[in-house]
């Protein structure tokens, strides 16, 4: 997730929370409806401003899990080399 998407998500979350409180929304289904409505309006605002929609944003070639796995493998290899020298 890049900075723009993160900020949009935080904005959506905060606006949903404010709306739930202001309107004293009760019940899971009503809360979901408010969440959907706010999300739709945030997406519309991004589109109207001319921003890049989240689904159009570039994605990394490797996931965070893959990068962490590779890092761990490199660390293990380095540790094995150190132990061989001892």
Q: Which residue has the tokens 């019940």?
A: 27
For residues 52 and 50, what is the distance between their CA atoms, to the nearest angstrom?
Answer: 7
As a whole number, mean pLDDT of residues 10-20 equals 97
Q: pLDDT at residue 7 above 70? A: yes
- Per-residue pLDDT reduced to its tens digit, 37-85: 999 999 999 999 998 888 888 888 888 899 999 999 999 999 888 888 8
Domain limits, the chain: 3-85
Q: What is the pLDDT of residue 56?
A: 86
Q: What is the pLDDT of residue 1?
A: 66
Q: Which residue has the higher pLDDT, 64 or 14?
A: 14
Query: Whole-prediction pTM value?
Result: 0.64
28-49 and 3-22 helices, crossing angle to 10°: 140
Selection from 10, 3, 4 nearest residue 53 by Cα:
4
């Amino acid at each position: 997730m890049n900075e723009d998407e993160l900020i949009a998500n935080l904005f959506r979350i905060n606006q949903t929370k404010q709306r739930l409180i202001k309107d004293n929304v009760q019940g899971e289904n009503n809360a979901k409806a408010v969440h959907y409505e706010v999300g739709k309006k945030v997406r519309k605002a991004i589109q109207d401003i001319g921003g890049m929609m989240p689904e159009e944003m570039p994605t990394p070639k490797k996931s965070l899990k893959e990068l962490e796995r590779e890092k761990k493998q490199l660390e293990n290899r380095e540790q094995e080399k150190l132990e061989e020298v001892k």
